[in-house]
Amino acid sequence: MVRREPSHLWMHLALIAFVLVTIYPVLWVLALAFSGQQSVGIIDLPADPSFFERLRAILPFPEHFSVKNFTEVWTEQSFGRWMLNSAVVSLLTTGLGVFLACTAAYAFSRFRFPGRNQGMLLFLVSQMFPGTLMLIPLFIIIVKWLGLGNTYFGLVIVYATTAIPFCVWMMKGYFDTIPIDIEESAVIDGASRQTIFFRIILPLAKPAIAITALFSFMTAWNEFILASVFMEAEANYTAPVGLRFFVGGFSAQWGYFAAGSVLVSLPVVLLFLYLQKYLISGLTAGSVK
Amino acid sequence: MSLKRWFSGIYILGLTVAVTVTLALSAWLFHGAERDQWLQYERRLAQVEANALADALSAAGPDEIGRILKAWQSSRPERQSAVVIAGMEMIGSAKSEDQAPRRLIRAEKPLYDLANQLRAARETNLSEGVVRKKLIVFDEQAKDAFVVTVPYLDKGEFAGVLQIRMRHVETDVSGTVSYAGAALWISIFLAAIVLAALLHARPEMPRDAPKIVALAAFLGLTLFYQSQRLETFAAADLESTRRVASAVADAAKQHDVKAVSPAIVSRWDTDQYQRPLGVIRTDGAVVGDARDKLFAERAKLLERSLWAVEALGLVLLLAYLLGYMRRLADTVRHHAAAYAYVAPAMVGMLVLVFFPFLYGITLAFTDTTLFNESLPFSERWVGLVNFFAILGDFNLFTRNADGVIWNYQNFYWTLMVTIVWTLTNVTVGVTLGFILALILNTDNLKGKAIYRVILILPWAIPNYITALVWRGMFHPQFGVINQILQLFGMQPVGWFDGVVSSFFTGLATNGWLSFPFMMVVILGALQSIPKDMYEAAEVEGATRWQRLRHITLPLLRPTLVPAIVLSVVWTFNMFNIIFLVSGGEPAGANEILITKAYKIAFENYQYAYAAAYSTVIFVILLVYGVFQTRVTKATESY
């Protein structure tokens, strides 16, 4: 035990170095968000800055602390409306995505039926479909044929289906680890398929469901290409589409962007950190035997 | 004999399904073909009007333009407007409120561009001696009306363009479908069933007799239906040609061609290259042979599709007759629960993933752009042209006195960048993730939980936000990274000006956001390796390196391989980072395939070319996937 102490020291040093690199961009965004101004620099540097002025310019702390960016992005810009759109779309996507993934994964895990292997392979292959190839046909199907442009539902069904393959894989991996004996004894006790699935399997698979839900939610919450194509009216923008507009044009409003980013990231980051105890078990359940 | 067995004995279900599918698909094809036919007829009428009017204008000379346009417009209600544009001027208009002649206003810039386009097209056609560029342009965006633009010639020279606008005419040439026929088909169908039933009921008849009756009934019904609809289709074509002929005759009367040259009439009914179709004679009569040939050409695709539908129906029927359908139905019934569970996800995937995918692939074989979307598929079909243009372009670099100049627009350059991008990113991600996971897996390490939470952060933050944040930090003038460089006495770097530095911005961003995934995956796998294996190895005297090499790595393999496969595919298609951080700067040198495809589609609006590009990307990934699977036999772990 004593022998190992020195090696812990360099481990801590390495970890601290990594932590600094990891956390710096986050602090940088926070500094801009609370700076109350729109420029991309943390402070305004004079023409010929000294060493300490430069050092000050990279320290991620705002010159004047202010919540002006947050209040303005919420009141003067339509950001609140966009956040609401994103929230509705993401929650609906999560519900639909989890339902579709659980049922399909359960069938792939528990039943042996003709087409099972082909179905799994198709799911795998679909992960390789380039997004740009799907974008134009999806636009034609959703907007032109189904008339679902500028609606929540159009985005929700596309997001839910694109998240299916990954979720199914993950759920199947987890279902595989649940002993089949449990189900067999339930069958002997006279339970139906539905009862087994909803009353026994789903409660046991909570960690994996949490991951699937998180993944579906993040798919919808973080997507902006499809959203920008489907949602043409400004009132229907989702948060990512809105955020891109702050820094997309010539007069970039970095302060609004930073404040908006903090608001958009906060729920997913908190969810993510809250669910991370499930994360490791959920991700590795299927692959490590 | 039970009713159920009796029904299955005469294949009533198979016959019904096969006939219904074939008739429904045929009807759908006919409906589409008739709609196309109607559209083409209306376009043809509009072309006749435009050609005739342009000829009348040329014959009368520039002073008469206003009078002729007004006379033309006022004589029919569907003629909505007509203008003549020459350079920056509108030299004539059918509407008095336009106050022609006058200079074009800013909103009329498209007219000016259109005139230039037609002038260039005409010059190309004349100089090459090959008719390659269209001389008649339809505004595909126009709703409820046809907006046609044709060249306006003055003394045989290109002087400008004439644009006319005609309202849709509501009447339909194709006429009503005869319902007497429908009654006939149904009676044939019923007769076939009765016959089959009679044959089935008599044991002395050969066993296959009902099958033969079913086949005969199917063929008779479907072929009869198709031939009837084809006749209607042909009659409608003849009728529309007659109407075009009468439109030509009307135009001849209105523009008083006898005074100019009667032969001019035959030049009005043309294709979009202003080549006469040769169907309408100078005296206004229809040339039978020429029309038949034209019609046969147009109907070719329809007829082929009909044969395909017929074959499909036949296959369906045979599947019933030979008992495959029964076996299929048994399978479905036997595994009903499984299929019920899979169905919702599968249906969603079919409609919103696999169908769009196939549609996209089909698009790759056309020349679809933003401007010709509404044309029927058969007119946009170009075969493998897009693929030849992408893969056959080896113009990768040029040499000059300064050395080699790379062509950044070339496919192979972009492919190379993409491969380098994927390899470096996955290497960085796996290496960092592995090192961090090994450190975090150390026993008794203090503050492990805090380190892990912070190190996971980049994964939790939406990647487009990460990308935009790093773009801000790499800002050449005010960016914090250049400030840090200057703090250490280095020169600021114009990050997005150089190929290598620009590539580095993407690598840094993606490295930052992708290592947590690998770290978490590897950490999970490390924790599942039993500790006693290491202890046993230590007792045996294995060094730290030997333990890593012979215990950790082999046991990580089942986890690492799928994670790396996934990560390669993700990085290969990592659109957000390249698109939002460097945007492919400088001059598109750092585009990866997927961002390049996006730009082709949504900045150049070359949908088909982009689809072909995306198809190539897919094939590359597919080959990689198959190769990877073969090499690692990773399939077991899925």
Delineate the domains of chain B, giving CATH numbers in brackets: 3-40+179-353 (no CATH), 57-167 (3.30.450.30), 412-594 (1.10.3720.10)
Is the pLDDT at A156 greater than 90? The verdict is yes
pLDDT in the model for residue B171: 58
Domain that holds residue A215: 80-284
Instruction: Give the 3-state secondary structure of chain A.
Output: CHHHHHHHHHHHHHHHHHHHHHHHHHHHHHHHHCCCCCCCCCCCCCCCCCHHHHHHHHCCCCCCCCCHHHHHHHHCCCHHHHHHHHHHHHHHHHHHHHHHHHHHHHHHHHCCCCCHHHHHHHHHHHCCCCHHHHHHHHHHHHHHHCCCCCCHHHHHHHHHHHHHHHHHHHHHHHHHHCCHHHHHHHHHCCCCHHHHHHHHHHHHCHHHHHHHHHHHHHHHHHCCHHHHHHCCCHHHCCHHHHHHHHHHCCCCCHHHHHHHHHHHHHHHHHHHHHHHHHHHHHHHCCCCC
- DSSP characters for B610-624? HHHHHHHHHHHHHHH
Confidence of residue B425 (pLDDT cuts 50, 70, 90): very high
Q: What DSSP string describes B622-637?
A: HHHHHHHHHHH-GGGG
- Joined tokens for residue B314: 């036949």
Q: Please check whether residues A162 and A98 belong to one and the same domain.
A: yes
Locus of tokens 């189900």: A183
A236 pLDDT higher than 50: yes
Q: What is the pLDDT of residues A75-85, one digit of tens each?
A: 877 888 899 99
Q: Quick one: which of A79, A71, A69 has its CA closest to A255?
A: A69
* Nearest-by-Cβ selection for B445 from A11, A134, A268: A11
Q: Output the average pLDDT for chain B.
A: 82
Residue numbers of B between 523 and 582 with CB closer than 8 Å to A = 523-525, 527-528, 558-559, 562-563, 566, 569, 573, 575, 580
Pick from A90, A263, A288 the residue to mutate for testing the B interface (most B CBs within 10 Å): A288
Its ipTM equals: 0.83
Does A72 map to a domain?
A: no
Looking at per-residue pLDDT, the higher value among B436 and A7 belongs to B436
Q: Please compute the mean of the pLDDT values over residues B360-381 and round it to a whole number.
A: 77
Instruction: Please say whether the beta carbons of B526 and A280 come within 8 A.
Output: no
Give 3-state DSSP helix, strand, coil % of chain B, rounded to 5.
Answer: 70, 10, 25
- Inter-axis angle of helices A5-33 and B463-473, to 10 degrees? 80
| Residue A89 domain flag | yes
The number of residues making up chain A comes to 289
Same domain, A24 and A161: no
Q: Considering the domain boundaries, does residue A29 fall inside one?
A: yes
What's the pLDDT score for residue B415? 92
User: Contact at 8 Å (CB) between B92 and B65?
Assistant: yes
On the question of pLDDT at B205 being above 70, the answer is: no
Q: Do residues A127 and A58 both lie within one domain?
A: no
Query: Is A178 found in the same domain as A45?
Result: no
Residue B510 binned pLDDT confidence (cut-offs 50, 70, 90): very high
pLDDT of residue A92: 95
- Is residue A143, in this structure, part of any structural domain at all? yes
Q: A71 lies in a domain?
A: no
What is the pLDDT, as a whole number, of residue A2? 44
**pLDDT for residue B377 is more than 80:** no
- Work out whether strand B145-154 and strand B79-86 pair parallel, antiparallel, or are unpaired: unpaired
pLDDT value at B621 more than 80: yes
Residue A184 · residue A201 · CB < 8 Å? no
pLDDT band at B208 (very low <50, low <70, confident <90, very high): confident
Q: Please name the helix (run of DSSP H) or strand (run of DSSP E) that holds residue B461, with its range, or none.
A: none
User: Residues A36, A85: one domain?
Assistant: no
Are β-strands B89-93 and B157-167 bridged in parallel, bridged antiparallel, or unpaired? unpaired
Smallest CA-to-CA distance from B411 within B254, B594, B627, B536 is with B594
Give the least confident one: A91-95, A184-188, B591-595. A184-188
CA distances (Å), B623 to each of A245, B361, B454, in order? Answer: 38, 17, 38
Q: Where are the alpha helices (DSSP H) in B397-479?
A: 411-440, 448-460, 463-473
Mean pLDDT, to the nearest integer, of A199-223?
A: 85
Give the best-scoring range by mean pLDDT among A38-52, B115-129, B397-411.
B115-129
A162 and A45 within one domain: no
pLDDT top residue among A149 and A158: A158
The tally of CA atoms less than 13 A away on the side-chain side of residue B111 is 22
> Chain B residues with CB inside 8 Å of A135's CB?
598, 601
User: What is the pLDDT confidence band of residue B422, given thresholds at 50, 70 and 90?
Assistant: very high
- When comparing pLDDT for B616 and B204, which is higher? B616
The answer on pLDDT for B381 being more than 60 is yes
DSSP state of B381: B
Contacts of residue A285, Cβ cutoff 8 Å, sequence gap at least 6: A173, A174, A176, A177, A208
Classify B543 as helix, strand or coil.
coil
Number of structural domains (chain A) is: 2
The span from the first CA to the last CA of chain A, in angstroms, equals 31
Verify cis geometry, omega within 30 degrees of 0, for the bond prior to B101.
Answer: yes
CB interface of B with A, residues 213-252, below 8 Å: none
The answer to whether residue A74 sits within a structural domain is no
pLDDT on residue B424: 95
CATH code of the domain containing A259: 1.10.3720.10
Contacting residues for A150 by C-beta, under 8 A, at least 6 apart: A230, A231, A232, A233, A236
- Are A136 and A226 members of one domain? yes
Q: Is the pLDDT of residue A4 over 60?
A: no
- The predicted pLDDT at position B534 comes to 82
Residue with tokens 């249906």: B347
Per CB-CB distance under 8 Å, the chain A contacts of B436 are 15, 18
Rg (CA), chain A: 24
pLDDT of residue A289: 34
pLDDT reading at A288 higher than 50 = no
- CA B134 to chain centroid: 23
Q: What is the average pLDDT across A20-26?
A: 90
Which is nearest to A169 in space by CA: A91, A104, A110, A99?
A: A104
What's the pLDDT score for residue A42?
A: 74
* A159 assigned to some structural domain: yes
Q: Do A122 and B354 touch (CB under 8 A)?
A: yes
Is B49 within 8 Å of B251 (Cβ atoms)?
Answer: yes
Q: List pLDDT tens digits, range B81-133.
A: 898 988 888 888 888 787 778 888 888 888 888 888 888 888 888 887 777 77
Q: State which of A19, A44, A66 marks the end of a domain.
A: A66
Residues A155 and A222 in one domain: yes
Residue B286 is classified by DSSP as B
Quick one: A42 and A177 in the same domain?
no
Report the candidate in B255, B279, B252 with the shortest Cα–Cα distance to residue B265.
B252
On the question of pLDDT at A1 being above 50, the answer is no
Q: In this predicted structure, what is the pLDDT of residue A69?
A: 83
Q: What's the token pair of residue B144?
A: 């409820």
- In the prediction, which pLDDT does B637 show? 46
The pLDDT of residue A88 is 94
Compute the nearest-CA separation of B448 from chain A (Å): 10
Query: For residue A132, what is the nearest residue in chain B, using CA coordinates?
Result: B598
CB contact under 8 A, A25 and B466: yes
Lowest mean pLDDT of A2-11, B267-276, B483-492, name the range. A2-11
Q: What are A252-275's pLDDT values in tens digits?
A: 788 888 888 998 898 888 888 887
Of the residues A66, A88, A112, which one is the last residue of a structural domain? A66
CB contacts under 8 A, B 477-516 vs A, are 478-480, 483-484, 486-487, 512
Is the confidence at residue B71, as pLDDT, over 90?
A: no
The CA R_g of chain B, rounded to the nearest whole Å, is 35
| Alpha carbon B97 to chain centroid, angstroms | 42
Does residue A175 lie within any of the structural domains?
Answer: yes
Report the Cα–Cα distance between both ends of chain B, in Å, rounded. 51
pLDDT given for residue B546 in this prediction: 84
Report the candidate in B578, B473, B447, B452 with the shortest Cα–Cα distance to residue A24: B473
> Is the CB of B520 inside 8 Å of chain A's CB atoms?
yes
- A143 and A11 both lie in a single domain: no
User: Which amino acid is residue B238, in one-letter code?
Assistant: L
Lowest-pLDDT range of B324-333, B531-540, B627-636 = B627-636
Please report which confidence band the pLDDT of residue B635 belongs to, taking 50, 70 and 90 as the band edges.
Answer: very low
CA distances from B542 to B537, B547, B550 (A): 5, 6, 10
Query: Do A38 and A115 lie in a common domain?
Result: no
Give me the pLDDT at residue B440, please: 87
Whether B586 and B406 have beta carbons less than 8 Å apart is answered as no
Size of interface A-B (CB pairs under 8 A): 273
User: Which of B1, B497, B483 lies closest to B203 in space, CA to CA?
Assistant: B1
Residues of chain A contacting B354 with CB distance shorter than 8 Å: 122, 126
Choose the weakest-confidence range: A13-17, A54-58, B148-152, B538-542.
Answer: A54-58
Are A275 and A91 in contact by the 8 Å Cβ rule? The answer is no
Residue A82: CA count within 13 A, CB half-sphere: 30
Q: List, in sequence order, every residue forming a beta bridge with B366; answer none if it has no partner.
A: B381
**Residue B520: how many CB atoms within 10 A of its CB?**
24
Of A17, A37, A66, the residue that ends a domain is A66
Q: What percent of chain B has pLDDT over 90?
A: 8
A264 and A231 housed in the same domain:
yes
- pLDDT of B533-567, one tens digit each? 888 888 888 888 888 888 888 888 877 887 888 88
Q: How would you label B172-201 residue by residue, b for 16+ Cβ within 10 Å and e otherwise?
A: ebbeeeeeeeeeebeeebeebbebbbebbe
